[in-house]
Chain A
Amino acid sequence: GAGVSQSPSNKVTEKGKDVELRCDPISGHTALYWYRQSLGQGLEFLIYFQGNSAPDKSGLPSDRFSAERTGGSVSTLTIQRTQQEDSAVYLCASSQGGGVRETQYFGPGTRLLVL
């Protein structure tokens, strides 16, 4: 079946512009995670959605970052007034129920470059 998809795959933007990243999780997966991966680094947790519950936004690095998930499916991560330090790969993952013992299925990521 289809895996997690993300778009765009690459995004180059100018400092100060807003960007919107999209994630389509695996159908039926109630849990959705966003991570940020800087060059050669590990995965930094950003935000977690589970069904209709309030999201865990504790990993968002600043108020320029926001995310929403519509209808319990597609999610968008928005970065306002982008800065050069926002350059990274943004990965989305989904899991069936969101527990720590569940497999997370990752999308291919969006590579963001802020000039």
Chain B
Amino acid sequence: GQQVMQIPQYQHVQEGEDFTTYCNSSTTLSNIQWYKQRPGGHPVFLIQLVKSGEVKKQKRLTFQFGEAKKNSSLHITATQTTDVGTYFCAAPSGGSNYKLTFGKGTLLTVNP
């Protein structure tokens, strides 16, 4: 089935540093979603990207969808302790029109 590889698995930063997580697929994706899961919490939807080369911003978070629609990234500028959590990308699984495959996630920890 569809696989989305997410790197890095872990990232530890000092507060104020930037952070980026990457999601890669071997096949073209129709869309990609990003979710955040706080420690002990449940995944919460952040954003969806649909168009080739799309860039969306949410305050300090910048999301990009590659031109070939095979990769995506989430960049956080000047991390804060509230950014701690695991960030997952999710993409349609194979030819499914309802099933998402989630990446294994990137756990971000921030040292105050």
Which A residues lie at the B interface, using CB under 8 A?
A: 31, 35, 40-43, 45, 48, 50, 56, 91, 93, 98-101, 103-109
Query: What's the Cα separation between A48 and B99 when bound, in Å?
Result: 8
What's the dominant secondary structure at chain A's contact region? loop
A-B CB contacts (within 8 Å), total count: 55
Given known A-B contacts A43-B43, A91-B43, A106-B42, A101 and B98 have beta carbons under 8 A apart: no
B25 at the interface (CB under 8 A from A): no
Query: A104–B42 contact, CB under 8 A?
Result: no
Given known A-B contacts A42-B105, A100-B92, A106 and B43 have beta carbons under 8 A apart: yes
Can you report 9 A-B residue pairs in the complex whose CB atoms are below 8 A from each other? A31-B98, A42-B103, A42-B104, A48-B99, A56-B98, A100-B96, A100-B98, A101-B50, A103-B48
Query: What's the Cα separation between A42 and B92 when bound, in Å?
Result: 15
Which B residues lie at the A interface, using CB under 8 A?
A: 30-31, 33, 35, 41-45, 48, 50, 88, 92-93, 96-105, 107
Query: What's the Cα separation between A42 and B43 when bound, in Å?
Result: 10
Chain A residues with Cβ below 8 Å from B44 are 106
